[in-house]
Structure 1
């Protein structure tokens, strides 16, 4: 008799967990409060980035962020409010803004990202997923020479500590590599190992394949709790959940995975523990391809705007706004995306605009995800808090969850991603 697993959350992490559990003969059901794939994975920039090993908390990042917030068009913002969880999170974030923690977190991120990059190659080939997969790398162009030289220090650190290095292009060399860029830029850095895909196509193709493999996907089933209550806080006892309670019924299983992204802290009472995740609101704009369209995805560090081209479209994305679960789409943020890209590209945008979107990234204080067993249940697992790298780290997370639930040794050390670290 096969073992039954329920994955709570139908985003990219939940899809990956369902996939790898299904491959190891679990009978899997996914319960999702909205539509499968409608969360943060729907309209992000779709970068698969082994180069993104440095965590967000770094030496000097707080002063830089506070300085940027003085300007009305800052891509970083905190909505002032009395929120104990937010200020506790910010305090923990500040504690990690040092060289030692940055490098330690970077080592774990590199293991995760390298594993996921290889797993994507296998996944797309083995499952024949049509996701507009491309391996052009990621380009970091700079307007000013001081920006180029400042990033040279980052590139040096990545080379020395992580074995990562970019190809440097100065002046006109850059526009030869990428003709969509204006010729007067100072230069840029090209990380060639990165890849990209179209995340909404990933989710729709993955859904089809999961259902073909026998995974049950229940949409519009809001998770309300587990069938067995968690012990009171402070109790050392642990027991197993027997079922999940949703807005449309109860479902029994042998084990459970909570992959609810930025919404995970709202489940603290059901989980019987505190999950230190803050929702970091991001925006994107999807449109037709410009006539002069980039071939390489780009991140404009000086204006914090990302650009991703696909055969079927083109997307601008950015912004990190700590505003709780504010569900308004700010047109000023959309204008910022266009304005930021206009400094670099001959044609920064095009018509028609297909979608203007926002979503919440699940941000942890140290930029590492939480992959662990819930301390108050012996059969409930957490897979959340992937910050801005959820799509990048989805396959490795799914494989790690399957290894844990199958009693195997995880192929990537999971101790740094334990909930106990907070």
Structure 2
């Protein structure tokens, strides 16, 4: 099977780099999105997200005609879906409506022999649900439903990404990929698609195992981060420097404790473990506890900030509190599920402080923080604030000499 044209639904932090790499390696790619601004930006050879090295490649592949963005689906050889999978509500039930919408968009143009691949981080069974939607929309085509169903017109698989923001371009190419087919033949066809640019090993399995693999990877990281965060809470209670504690413990040849922070963010680690808990709540007890520890950390940070404001006494005005960093990790603009955003919201809701918000990777505050405070340059925030909390280890903060040595600065990250 020759793969010449690829359709990628969702041009965000994963979809756009993926579409770009397929185009960079010679495929013709149509990128689908519902965001008109994103489409116009990409078609100008620019990008609407922050990812080192991406814009230069986007410019080249757009100019060469290998990549274009659109609202409207076109026939293709392979269709990838990389759209968000948020929660429906407070009970952490997965919301698959974005996947369903993407399926409805591509279903009319599907043809016999096409490959449909779900990349979105999803609960176990999501790929099978996608098959059900496709079957209802295109009863004229045969879709695989069981691992032994070989009489299919369309090949369906699940293939999660495992890339690090800030290093996406390199890791998309170099990292191994787990490819889970509804059938073995579907997995084989999906592997042919990724072989266009992936240099890492393409490991074949079934769809359910591939879905669980992605969730397991992020739950493992979440549990380890929760241990570090819990140590920071215990260290604070017992008057022990947690950074020194971890450094000393890590001298053991078989101990490698991670660094605590202000919480856990991003659309992977902060979300995926709940998909496991939602599916098997009676069994995923450690996973659930880790999530609870990490979800509590922002509230603890707010308590620490308030305690330091109280020490200032009556200032005759609202105390000024500066929060340094709003992204979920250093040196990116991604605010999804960021604990810093939650911290800012919790403080703003109290209406007791003037908030100075510092995020060098964005030009405007997200809607949920529009009335919370003022987007401020780091130098101004350090001069004006009564209490400063470093929430993210951005390079701009590291470059400021002795930033963490004054008493008004609270450092909640280890690398500043």
TM-score, structure 2 length as denominator?
A: 0.26
The structure with the greater share of residues assigned to helix is 2
Larger of the two Rg values belongs to structure: 2
Higher normalized contact order (CA 8 Å, seq sep 6+, divided by chain length): 1
TM-score, structure 1 length as denominator?
A: 0.26
The structure with the greater share of residues assigned to strand is 1
